A and B are shown apart, each in its own frame.
Chain A
Amino acid sequence: MSYQLKQANISLNKKPGFVALVISTMGLTLGALLCVLTLGYVLLYKPLPYPDQERLMVVDHAFIDQTRNGQPGKVMFKAFTYPALMALQNEPTAFLETAFISRKQGVLTNHSALPTVEATYVTPDWFTLLNIPMKFGRAFTPSESIDSYNPVAVISHKSWQNEFAATPDILEEKVEFGGVSFKIVGVTAPDFVEPQVYRVRRQTQLWLPWDFDPLNEADRKNWGRIFGARMVGKLANGVTPRQAEQVITPIVNNQWQAAMAGNPQNAGRSIRLELRSFESVILGDSAQVIYLLLASVFGLIVIATTNIANLFMSRTAQKQRALSIQAALGAKKRHLFQALLAESALAMFYSLLLALMVSSVGFWLLQQYLHTLLPRIEEVSLNAFTLGAALVIGSLIALLLARLGAASINYKALNTTLQSSGKGTGVQVSKRLRQVLMVCQVAVATVLIFVNIGLFKAAIQSINTPMGFEAKNVHSLTLASASATLPPANDALPVIEQIKQTLTALPQIASVSHTSSPLDTFGTWMPGLSTVGGNEKIRAEYKVVDEQYFQLIKQSKLAGEFFSSQEVRDKKSVMIVNESFAQLFSVNPTKPIDFLGKKLVFRGDKAFTVIGVVKGIEVPGKTKAMPRVYVIKRPSGPERTRNRLAFTIKTKDNQSVSRQQLVEAIKGVSSQFTANQWMSLVENRHQMLFTQYTWAITTAVLTLLTIILAGIGLYGIISYAVQMRKFELGTRMAVGAKRADLIRLIITDNVGSMLLGVLISVITLIGLFAASGNELQLNITSMVMIFILTFGVISLVSLSACYLPLRGFINRPAMFSLRNND
């Protein structure tokens, strides 16, 4: 074989163009495949880097309404209550270990730069469950267990480097967060990979003991929902997740039922605890992304391999004289196959070297640009799996290429080749094989182009959807408390109002609204709003706004009025609704004025009077405008300071304000609060549309690659066929065929294969849509339009592939085609 490899190397060196085409085509596509395969391996199969990771579970606390909408057992929402967490503490049957976690974003108030950090409150078991390695100091120990109130902190390695300049004396430092000073007792090791149980790429910078979670005493005692708190645990030996659910659900549900006894609102409701594996929580819906990417790159590989197979077979045909001489000298079929295999193996080896480089670049790009979209990206790198996959795929393709090349050799006919001056038919790619290659190319390319255009269209549609308000110069600001617990609303709101006045007075600022950003999450009223005396409950999102809000963001008014300063001061029970909400009450969309004056109630409390109807806003990435209402005050319950810490601020044209300037301005009013997060809505919108941008770019690149590869492939196949028919074409020209006649001839000969390819793709697409339930959310018109576009692209590519190889013959005198043949 070494002789064959040496000869193959010499032979390939003589064809640098052929080698470059093979290596670039296969290197790029295999590189993409290895990159996505490795990503898929890490996300779907590679065990999490924690001990007994398969037994690590996240517990969901679901409120069940047994009777809701006639659907027994429907989950109303999922959120823990504090008493439920405490009831499960040290549960001995289902779990070996449990830990509680909750999160908070805030400011390190003793740090000169006042950085905003992500903090996670944890019980000590969090460190042992994950076996978190430490660079310095220690993790939390039983000295930080619940109710110990020991103010210590562990910081991440990255935070140590960024916020503390990697000082070696870090264990001498303290951090002040949420009004409490914590002594740093440890720094996590740089190789610790944090499980992203909240959202992709949320990286904790500061771990604090669970006791310091800013829940006040009342919150800790009542059964109210505490969003953001999680329970995680390691299942006891031999216990399945379902068995664990059956053990822990009654513990919580019985206590909750007892506590809620006599409360008619909770009749028919219950608590159910549900376990999800760490893996599935961290993976989220990323599997769909992976499968889609895998399908796309596999499609590209099929097209690329078809192209290269055709190239190899054409090359084998070109080498028939050399093969004939070898056969004449005693080479058996096996020897010829070995020669072909050596050549294809060598070409694939070089391609794989390029592929590994391409995949490395791909890993870097993934880590740079997709880290907010996909979990565990930092674990994606060249590894044994990548190398193994490269070896297997490369070997299979090399074998396939050699096999196809060998199949095109007519060993018996080779001997006559020498007698006919090398013009024999010892090596020919059969017409049938060429047709199969063409059908394959067209079918795969059509499917890929259709799906990618569909995804591209959906992404572009989301990106281009107007938000329904003006984001230019508009920013969101959230305040952080400098104390451990937030002051009560009665004390805090006057201070916050002063802060608003101070910010308004800044020369760069045009307007301030004491309202959270329109891109922030809206609240939800449950069970919903109804007309006075009506039974039907309409669920709607709500936002508490002030008189500046609508004018500041320039949200369009369809009817009525915005809130006046007087109404805000008097906290009037008035309401502004968006058109989606009005339409739920059967209001004529062209006459929203009909909805004015309508009175709506929530849980029988005092009615809100609708005084205005506004056009809906579209939150980027959401599919439709939600029914929403805007009020001056919450419909029930006491005002809470934590709900009033956000501002929407508009700066003057060509003016900017830094977070540091805001910090200074707020410091002049009160030391109770500081600026937490300051972000422009334009930037916020871009962040929210990150997934759509990513998909738009990815699908555009995949579509282009598919078109280019399919174009090259079809050109290669038809070019070979035209080359084989050069003599026939010359003869036809000799008897009077014009250029148009010959173009028509080649198109007619290939149109059947192309249409068959398209037909197969249509069947495949129908199958895919049936199986996936129209994940692309395309209506029939869009599907037809996209299909017409796809068909147009494929037709254009195919027709070009028919015409281009012909140019060399039909644009020259007929003698050119006949020369050397007669």
Chain B
Amino acid sequence: MSNAVITMRNISKIFETEALQTHALNGVDLTINQGDYVSISGPSGSGKSTLLSLLGLLDFPTSGDYFIEGLDVTKLSLDEAAEIRNVKIGFVFQSFNLIDDLTVFDNVALPMRYYDKKPTANQIKQRVNECLAMVGITPRVSHYPNQLSGGQQQRIAIARALIAKPAILLVDEPTGNLDSKSADQVMDVLGELNHQGTTICMVTHDPRYADMAKTKLCLLDGTFLKLPSNKEIA
């Protein structure tokens, strides 16, 4: 039995305007297995963010097939895609994407508010505290995002991404807006999470952090370049 969390076959994405067709992704194949830590790098415009948005069902491919844990998610309705995002995918954005009007607690709890089966307040509290503990932010639950440092905000974003025990954590340039110390802390958290079994797919420009992944992929003009794995290098 396959343990693939993500399977993409021949995925293409074309952006069209009246005057122009842009091929962002050209026939991409990708498999990410349970427990993998994959980094995707590449120059600007290579299709990294597009790929991540397709992986996260934030957008839909123009062609190709996409499976999450064996489920065909290529042609879902918007609401079906939302449900998959809610329970199977965790997002970490470069700019944190925390909601300014919500406290740390409420930001982290946000995905649970969208469960079909509404959890109790106690269940939410317990799970939020677990996730905040995993990223080391526990005492600051009643603060608002703008009262925290960038590193702290990104760790809260990671806690929010973990809240639903997702099948995969999609991480987009997690250190892009952070100083090096904070960036290291965030990467440590991600490493630890992977060590505990969380599957991670990360887009990054930074070769240092790309090297921390078990599998390194490089995109160029919408297609993967074959790179040796860390195991192969070792």
Contacts and interface: CB of A to CB of B under 8 A. Distances in A.
B14 interface: no
Given A813-B60, A822-B172, A735 B79 contact: no
B58 A822 contact: no
Contacts of B94: 822
A742 to B, nearest CB: 10
B114 A736 contact: yes
A733 B99 CA distance: 12
Nearest to A735: B111
A814 B58 contact: yes
Contacts, number: 78
A731 B97 contact: yes
Given A736-B111, A738-B82, A822 B59 contact: no
B79 A736 contact: no
Contacts of A500: none
A567 interface: no
Contacts of B160: 735
Chain A interface, DSSP helix/strand/loop, else mixed: helix
Given A813-B60, A814-B59, A735 B95 contact: no
Contacts of B97: 727, 730-731, 734, 818, 822
A735 B60 CA distance: 16
A736 B86 contact: yes
B209 interface: no
Contacts of A71: none
B91 interface: yes
A262 B94 CA distance: 108
B85 interface: yes
A815 B170 CA distance: 14
B107 to A, nearest CB: 9
A497 interface: no
A821 interface: yes
Contacts of B172: 822
Contacts of B78: 738-739, 810-813
B2 to A, nearest CB: 25
Contacts of B91: 734-735
Interface string B144-168: 0000000000000000100010000
Interface in B74-111: 78-79, 81-83, 85-87, 91, 93-95, 97-99, 110-111
Contacts of A810: 78
B114 A734 contact: no
A766 to B, nearest CB: 35
Contacts of A818: 53, 58, 93, 97
A730 B164 CA distance: 18
Given A815-B53, A822-B95, A734 B85 contact: yes
B114 A735 contact: yes
Interface string B208-219: 000000000000
A682 B94 CA distance: 77
What band does the interface of chain A fall in when counting residues whose beta carbon is under 8 Å from B?
20 to 34
B56 interface: yes
Contacts of A812: 78
B110 A735 contact: yes
Contacts of A739: 78-79, 82
B98 to A, nearest CB: 8
B77 to A, nearest CB: 10
A813 B86 contact: no
Interface in A766-822: 810-816, 818, 821-822
B99 A731 contact: yes
Contact of B114 (A730, A741, A813, A822): A741
A638 to B, nearest CB: 89
Nearest to A727: B97
Contacts of A166: none
Nearest to B110: A735
Contact of B82 (A733, A815, A816): A733
Contacts of A730: 97
A813 B59 contact: yes
A712 B117 CA distance: 37
A494 to B, nearest CB: 91
A739 B79 CA distance: 7
- A731, A735, A822, most chain B CB atoms within 10 A: A735
Contacts of A737: 82, 86, 114
Contacts of A738: 78-79, 82-83, 114
A769 B78 CA distance: 50
B95 A821 contact: yes
Contact of B86 (A735, A740, A815): A735
Nearest to B160: A735
Contacts of B86: 735-737
Contacts of A728: 99
A732 interface: yes
A818 to B, nearest CB: 7
- A730, A732, A736, A811, most chain B CB atoms within 10 A: A736
A741 B115 CA distance: 10
Given A733-B58, A739-B82, 7 more contacts: A732-B114, A734-B85, A735-B110, A735-B160, A814-B58, A814-B59, A815-B59
7 contacts: A731-B98, A731-B99, A735-B111, A739-B78, A814-B81, A815-B58, A822-B95
Interface of A: 727-728, 730-741, 810-816, 818, 821-822
Q: Which 6 A-B pairs have the closest CB atoms?
A: A736-B86, A815-B59, A815-B58, A731-B97, A735-B111, A814-B58
